[in-house]
């Protein structure tokens, strides 16, 4: 009998804590880039161009992530600004927000409708994921490991990140 009021109070307390947590701002889990920080990554992308090397600098503020992706391979080289967000389940979802530079090799043309999806792998200590381009019918597995930045990524703070991708870009070499 004496325990009944105690359990009733505990139930009310537990419900209050659970409801209170719904109204507190939360940052989705994502081990690759700490909130308010920038990190550098390098690795590969295996799609239409299986030789592609990738270097990325990513910055984070809350759930928002943006950065610069440089790619080099048989298809040529490109540099794109990326922007996106960390979803509630920890998935990093990003798209191309601006073309910085593009130098495709003969027979190749760039596509800029790429959608990137990454998850942080603690066991591989890398961002592991893929990109998909409907325009180019290109799908690639990607893996980029974190490494030390040699300088501050000042270019990532450029206001040009808000520019849109030209609609005239087309895909190539299939």
CA–CA separation, 174 vs 170, rounded Å? 12
Per-domain residue ranges for the chain?
38-162
CATH architecture group of domain 38-162 = Beta Barrel (2.40)
**pLDDT value for 174:** 28
**pLDDT value for 31:** 75
Mean per-residue pLDDT pooled into runs of 10, the chain (174 residues)? 54 49 48 87 92 93 93 93 92 92 91 89 89 88 82 44 36 32
CA 26, 30, 34, 39 dihedral sign is negative
Q: Give residue for tokens 């909130």.
A: 35
| Euclidean distance between the first and the last CA atom of the chain, given in angstroms as a whole number | 76
**pLDDT value for 114:** 87
**pLDDT value for 5:** 58
Residue 54 has a CB neighbour count (10 Å cut-off) of 19
**pLDDT value for 55:** 94
């Amino acid at each position: 009998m004496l325990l009944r009021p105690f359990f009733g109070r505990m139930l009310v307390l537990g419900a209050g804590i659970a409801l209170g947590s719904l109204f507190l701002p939360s940052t989705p889990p994502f081990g690759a880039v700490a909130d308010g920080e920038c990190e550098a990554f390098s690795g590969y992308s295996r799609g239409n161009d299986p030789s592609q090397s990738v270097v990325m600098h990513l910055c984070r503020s809350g759930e928002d992530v943006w950065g610069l992706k440089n790619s080099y391979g048989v298809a040529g080289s490109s540099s794109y600004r990326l922007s996106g967000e960390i979803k509630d389940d920890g998935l990093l979802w990003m798209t191309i927000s601006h073309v910085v530079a593009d130098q495709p090799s003969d027979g190749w043309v760039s596509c800029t409708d790429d959608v990137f999806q990454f998850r942080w792998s603690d066991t591989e200590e890398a961002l592991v994921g893929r990109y998909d381009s409907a325009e180019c019918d290109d799908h690639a597995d990607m893996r980029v490991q974190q490494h030390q930045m040699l300088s501050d990524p000042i270019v990532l703070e450029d206001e040009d990140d808000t520019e849109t991708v030209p609609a005239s870009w087309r895909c190539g070499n299939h």
